[in-house]
Amino acid sequence: MASILAKKPKKMKLKELKTLGQQLLSSRAHINNLPLLLGFISPSSPPPYVLESLLSLQSFFTTVLADLPPSQSSKKRPRIDDSAKQDPEFIYRTWLRSKFDEFVTLLIEVLISPDTEDALREILLDSFMEFVKLGNGGSFYSSIYHKLLRSIVNSPTPVDFLSELLALKYFKYIDVRYFTFISLEKLAKALDTKDTADDETVGGDGDSGSQSRESMELSIHKIHYIISHIPPLEGNDGKSEYEMWSGSGLPSNEEHDKKKLSKAQKAEDKGWKAEKQTNNVLSPASIAKKMKLKFTKAWISFLRLTIPVNVYKEVLATLHQAVIPHLSNPIILCDFLTKSYDIGGVVSVMALSSLFILMTQHGLEYPNFYEKLYALLSPSIFMAKHRAKFFQLLDSCLKSPLLPAYLAAAFAKKLSRLSICVPPSGELVIIALIHNLLRRHPSINCLVHKEDGDESEEDKNDSGSEKRPGIDHFNSEESNSIKSNAMRSSLWEIDTLRHHYCPPVSRFVLSLENDLTVRSKTTEMDIKDFSSGSYATIFGDEIRRRVKQVPLAFYKATPTSLFPESEFCGWTFTYEGSNEIKEQKTVEEDDASTKRQRIEC
């Protein structure tokens, strides 16, 4: 035994390490083996040594953890009498607690190390989560779980595999999700405070500021990955119980349970306090309510951060489906979404889905909504990645019969002008949108056909130069739809599409020749059928289209020239080098006959 303890950890054999673990588990007399085994929980140790030490230490701490005093770092640690501090048993258990805290720290260090193998990392995570499950008297040990998440988020290197493993294996448990939301809320607030402090002290070393910003963005990436991979709470009939990792929720307020739980732990787990004294656990309805509250707080804290552009777009792309339906009060996102909508460009397009839900389902009032929507209409929107959803929402936003005539006319005219400079797939969407606008708003049907004599009072007061035929009063550069003069214009751009080179466009535009004011004889176009179009889809539709009459090139006699002489009267097409070619052929024939005569001789 003495020879084994005298050896340095690096020179110890695996068999000797296993012996140390067996001795530790067999008797308290071998407690000095505990620091030796802890020395092998390190990223630099070989995986077999880490695994062997882990098995021994996990078996040891699992049996004694329930009897250990609270951690030294606990802020609300109960007071202990001086006589109790002198008790050898208390001193021994306090020392074990410090070694367990060291063991947890070492486990996290190996978990987030980039040098750790994935197979070993999975085993370490399973062991760590076992302590989370059993280390608090049967309740969820939230303090060490928060320490793990904090280390993952603040790690200077990516730990994607660990985050994926945590989401894949443990986010199906309700209590793990609950305390994950609590931890992410704290971490997001800490990052927000740190970011504010960095902004106030800016002006020092530029390199250090850049590194700090990169570290902040990496942490935000990790928080977003974790929070976006927590599945929403499934529907529950209120009778079946949710699956818990710790076996049960938080125990009730019985005196026996109060003695087992430290005050600090009870403060952290306050949200899980039992409401039903008879069952000693939360009801499914109460769990769902508390989960929604923690979900909301975590997401709001995250959205208050200075989010990088790539993460910003990912958030907006899924916000209307993955976040808004599960918030306790979705209207609290109004500030975030209105600021996103005011940015312009693709960010505004992606924010439109969520903003539309708040306006139609949660009573959000946004006075400048249509003005911003009008400004988004540009040729680039027809090439955007999320154009399909945008066009469907645009059609929905223009569906209200209370829309003013000038606003409907402005959108119709702006779309008509865009039809000149967009691909055929975009022109099909424009025709469908204008078709629906003309059908919903009969007051703007004057744009379809306007004679030169159809002058408004405003036209009659204009100068003589503006009265000339062919003048289009519409100002496409004006961002304000009221000042665009759309009602004084016409949809002449749509008329040009009747002669478009693309057959689907020229055929589809004929639908606007019908009297759309008669709603009983017409139907609205489904924008979804056109919003995802492209050159490939148009070509595919044309290939599959059944053609009744196929144009054929039929000639009674084989043509001898590209253009017949009847089409070019008075013209003669001759080749200047035709005589030279004939002379060359004659010389070649003479040479050939001379060679034959020589051969015969």
Residue 212 has pLDDT above 90, yes or no: no
Task: Reply yes or no on whether the pLDDT at 416 is more than 70.
Answer: yes
Residue scoring higher pLDDT (286 or 248)? 286
Does residue 153 surpass a pLDDT of 90? yes
In this structure, of 30-34, 277-281, 445-449, the range with the lowest mean pLDDT score is 277-281
**At 264, is the secondary structure helix, strand, or coil?**
helix
pLDDT at res. 422: 93
Question: How much is the pTM?
Answer: 0.76
Segment 82-90 shows an average pLDDT of 72
Give every CB contact of residue 356 below 8 A, 6+ residues apart in sequence: 393, 396, 397
Please state, in angstroms and rounded to a whole number, the distance separating the CA atoms of residues 86 and 413: 88
Tokens of 81: 């009498």
20-26 own/partner pairs: CB under 8 Å, 24+ apart = 20/56, 21/52, 21/53, 21/55, 21/56, 21/57, 21/59, 22/56, 24/56, 24/60, 25/56, 25/59, 25/60
Q: What is the pLDDT of residue 410?
A: 94
Radius of gyration of the chain from its Cα atoms, rounded to whole angstroms: 39
pLDDT above 60 (res 225): yes
Give per-residue pLDDT as tens, 358-397.
998 998 888 888 998 999 999 999 988 888 999 999 999 9
Residue 232 in this model has a pLDDT that exceeds 70: yes
Please tell me the distance from the alpha carbon of residue 36 to that of residue 52, in angstroms, as a whole number: 12
Phi and psi at residue 269, in whole multiples of 5°? Answer: -100, 25
Whether the Cβ atoms of residue 364 and residue 358 lie closer than 8 Å to each other: yes
State yes or no: pLDDT of 578 exceeds 70.
no
Alpha-carbon span 95 to 100, nearest angstrom: 9
Whether pLDDT at 274 is above 60: no
pLDDT digits (tens, 9 = 90+) for 473-510: 899 888 888 889 899 899 999 989 999 989 899 999 98
Q: Which of 100, 150, 154, 93 is nearest to 127 (CA)?
A: 100
For residue 389, how many C-alpha atoms fall within 13 Å in the half-sphere facing its CB? 17
Q: What is the mean pLDDT of residues 220-231?
A: 94
For the segment 194-209, the average pLDDT, to the nearest whole number, is 60
Is the pLDDT at 283 greater than 90? The verdict is no
Q: Which residue in 310, 384, 302 sits closest to 336, CA to CA?
A: 302
How far is 107 from 101, CA to CA, in rounded Å?
10
Annotated domain spans of the chain? 13-72+89-139, 406-450+474-544
Query: For residue 61, with 0-12 CB atoms within 10 Å meaning exposed, 13-18 middle and 19 or more buried, which class applies?
Result: buried
What pLDDT score was predicted for residue 220?
Answer: 94
Task: Pull the structure tokens for residue 167.
Answer: 């989401």
Look up residue 156 and give its two tokens.
Answer: 């200077």
Rounded Cα distance between 433 and 570, Å, is: 53
Biggest alpha carbon–alpha carbon distance for the chain: 140
CB atoms near residue 194 (< 10 Å): 14
Reduce the secondary structure of 307-340 to three states and give it as a string.
CCHHHHHHHHHHHHHHHHHHCCCHHHHHHHHHHH
pLDDT for 239 beyond 60: no
Long-range contacts of 116-121 (CB under 8 A, 24+ apart): 116/43, 117/47, 118/161, 119/47, 120/47, 120/50, 120/51, 121/161, 121/162, 121/165
CB contact set of 69 (below 8 Å; sequence gap of 6+)? 90, 93, 94, 97
- Cα–Cα distance for residue pair 219/305, rounded to 1 Å: 11
Between CA 112 and CA 62 the distance in angstroms is 23
3-state secondary structure of 297: helix
Residues above pLDDT 90, as percent of the chain: 43
Q: Tokens representing 474?
A: 């519409």
CA atoms of 408 and 516, how far apart (whole Å): 15
Q: Which helix (H) or strand (E) holds 406?
A: helix 405-418
185: confidence class by pLDDT, cuts 50, 70, 90: very high
Whose CA is closest to 433, among 469, 387, 399, 480?
399
- What is the C-alpha to C-alpha distance for residues 239 and 285, in angstroms, rounded to an integer? 9
Model pLDDT, residue 87:
79
Residue 1 exposure: Cα atoms within 13 Å on the Cβ side: 10
- The confidence score (pLDDT) of residue 256 equals 39
b/e sequence 385-406, b meaning 16+ C-beta within 10 Å: ebbbbbbbbbbebbeeeebeeb
Which pLDDT value is given to residue 463?
A: 47
CA-to-CA distance for 2 and 10, rounded, in angstroms?
17
What is the reported pLDDT for 329?
Answer: 92
Find all residues with CB under 8 Å of 395, minimum gap 6, and list them.
433, 436, 527
Inform me whether the pLDDT recorded for 236 exceeds 60: no
Please tell me the predicted confidence (pLDDT) of residue 277: 38
Spell out the alpha helix ranges (H) of 453-529: 457-460, 492-496, 503-508
